[in-house]
Structure formats: structure tokens, C-alpha cells
Structure 1
Amino acid sequence: MTSIRERNKELILRAASEEFADKGFAATKTSDIAAKAGLPKPNVYYYFKSKENLYREVLESIIEPLLAASAPFNQPGHPSEVLTAYIRSKIRISRELPHASKVFASEIMHGAPHLSPEQTEQLNDQAKHNIACIQRWIDQGLMAKVDPHHLLFSIWAATQTYADFDWQISTVTGKASLDDADYEAAAQTIIRLVLKGCEVAPAPSTASELVSSV
């Protein structure tokens, strides 16, 4: 069972994500966060001590999923399977954490002044690892000779746009919000563009793997 403390912190974090996403760090007031969370203003300071600490917690709430999304790159796997899993994870983050994603995007656009050196190192190291994996697949002839840096940047842009530019997407599609079918269509479209565009070799079938291992 969720404790009152955990529930209150979650309410504050969710409200803070929305306020920081809408107004930015400087213009956001702790009183507005408290009001949106439905809690007294002193609760914000009781749980998070300061607005800056709360902002850092919002960043942490998106950094952990972003790092976790790269899990497929951290173990042996075929590029078609790894890239598919990665793209789906990134789309899921945009759907489930849209406000925190906007806060992260704004933070990066302003030079990441609130990211700790450890967080910056984690994100950069993971990106470098992913790029090295893509380069290895290219060297092995499993995909076309594309620039691995720009491939990764393109995947980021294609998946994160569903959170960072949701207003534009809603306006163009004429929907107040996207549904399951929309996010599935987005994932399938991006996966197809990446796998076909990069000429990724199909993953070997289980039967083929069994035959080759005999």
C-alpha cells in the first residue's frame, strides 16, 4: 500500500512536471505547484526543501527512464530487435511522461544548467555506447553505412516529438489527445523508416539459429 508520504510526493512531482513544462523553472511558483497538487504550500518544502530540488527531482524522473530505454543496447542482440525495442521504449516515455520530457528538453536547450555532472556523464556515456553498437553493426555488414550519431539523433527527434510538440500534433490530427492506435502507428512508422532506411538485415529465425548451432 502506498504511504501518505509517497502519495503526496507523487502528487507534487506530477504537478511540478506540468508547471515547469508550461512555465519554465524561473516563472514557476511553488504556490502554483501546491495548488495543482491539492496540498498546502508548506508540503512542497517539507518533502523537497526548495524549488530547485523539486526541479532536479523532475529531471531525475525522466533521466532514469531515458537510461532504461537503452537497455536493449546493453546486451547482445540483433540490430533489428534492439532498434525496435529502443524506439518503442522511447515512444512509451513520450506517452507516459510528456511533461517531464518537455522539462528535460527545455533543460537541454538551455545548456543543462541543473543537470549534475554525474547525470551528464551517464547520459553521454550511454549515448556513446549506443553509437558504438550501431557502428559495430555497420562494420559487420548488418546495416547500411549511415552516420551512427545522426541516426541516434534522428530517433530521439522522431520519438520525443510526441511529447515535446504534442500541441502541434493534436492540432494537425484534430484530436484532443492521441490514443493507443496513434502511438502504435507512430512506433510502427518510425521503426519501418529506421529499419528500411538503414537497410537493417532481418534477424535470423529461431529455426535458422538452431540449424547453425548444430
Structure 2
Amino acid sequence: MSDDLPIRLPRVLRDGDDAGAIDVLQEYFTRPFVKTGHIRTGARWDSWDPSGRREADVDTFTADDLVAITLLSVQVPAQGAWIMLGEARSELNRLLAAVGPDRDLVDESDTMTPESPVWQLETALREIHGIGRIVASKLIARKRPRLYPIYDDVVGRQLGTKAAHLEPVRLALRDGDGALHRRLIDLRDRAGLGGSVPAVRILGVLAWMQGKGY
């Protein structure tokens, strides 16, 4: 992995502190809060499937998806939800299907441009009332969790990706024949997390936790 990545790595990754990174991941995903006895709602995001239809609805935006993003502390307002699941439903689902099946972002050899299907989907979502960059990223990540890295302001500040996020993350994961991707998967496995937590999510969580002072 080169020293001039297009993103700024979280400190534990820059310092080679595997033990620290594993501790941060376990803090986020597995340790309950003392006051409540419950883990973070965000830790439930990756495997949350209350209706049992997530796999069947992989190319369809559903009410389950609108509830799922509330686990990451955002929501689509009523008017936006009405549009998403109503008048814009067919077009959004067409764009979602055009993205193709979920796959690891590291395996994407083509540059992500405004003509890329996933970029077109993000643009269409952001045209809907109440859906900005952050909400759109979480909606797409819900449907394509291995392909699409979640963005929010905290992650953007830590990774230095506020101007652009998807393409810099893709390039960073591919650098050095996928060295960062392999390291993130190794950290996930050593932290005892399930395979439903993809590499892009591990990167995002490490960045978010650093930004929150953990």
C-alpha cells in the first residue's frame, strides 16, 4: 500500500495499530452501552432484515429500507418517502437494477463518473425532497453494501473525502493490488464480526469512531 493514497486513513490504520483498530470495531459493533445494556443501533444495520425479504428485494426500494437508515440516525421525510415509493419508484428501481449485483468496490476497475450507473442512482435520489448526499449514500449502501461506502460529514472529514467520496475510496482500496481491502477484511475477521460487514463499512466505522473521539 503506497504512502500517497487518495484518502486520509484513520489514525489506527496509518499507525499500523491492529489491536487498536480491532478494539474500536468491537466497541462499535459488539459492546453494549453501560446505561442501556444495548449495542448501538448502527451495529444492527449490516444484518437487519425484519421482513426476511432483503435478498428478494435487492433491486427494489422498500419501506424496510426507509426504516433501516434510521438505524444510522437519518430518515427520509414523509414527502420524500411518498415520492420514492410512489411516482419515482419504477425509475429508481430501474436505476438500482442497472447498478448490477452487489460486489466489492475493490473489484471495480472502471473509474466512477457521472455516467456510472451507481452515480446516476445517487443523482436521482438526491433530486427527491429531503434526500441529500448523506441519506442517498445510506439508501444505496443498504442495497449494495459491499459496493457503496456510506458517507456522512464525520467520515468525510476524517478521510478527506468531502469533495468526492466514492471514487477516492475505490482508488484507495485498489492501491497496491488491494492491500487496504485485504487489511480491512482481516481486521473484521479478527474482531469477530460476521461476513455481512463489508470492507467499505469497516473503513467507514473506523473513520466515524475516530471523528467521535473513540
TM-score normalised according to structure 1 size: 0.24
Structure showing greater Rg: 1
TM-score using structure 2 length: 0.24
Q: Which has the higher contact order (CA 8 A, sep 6+)?
A: 2
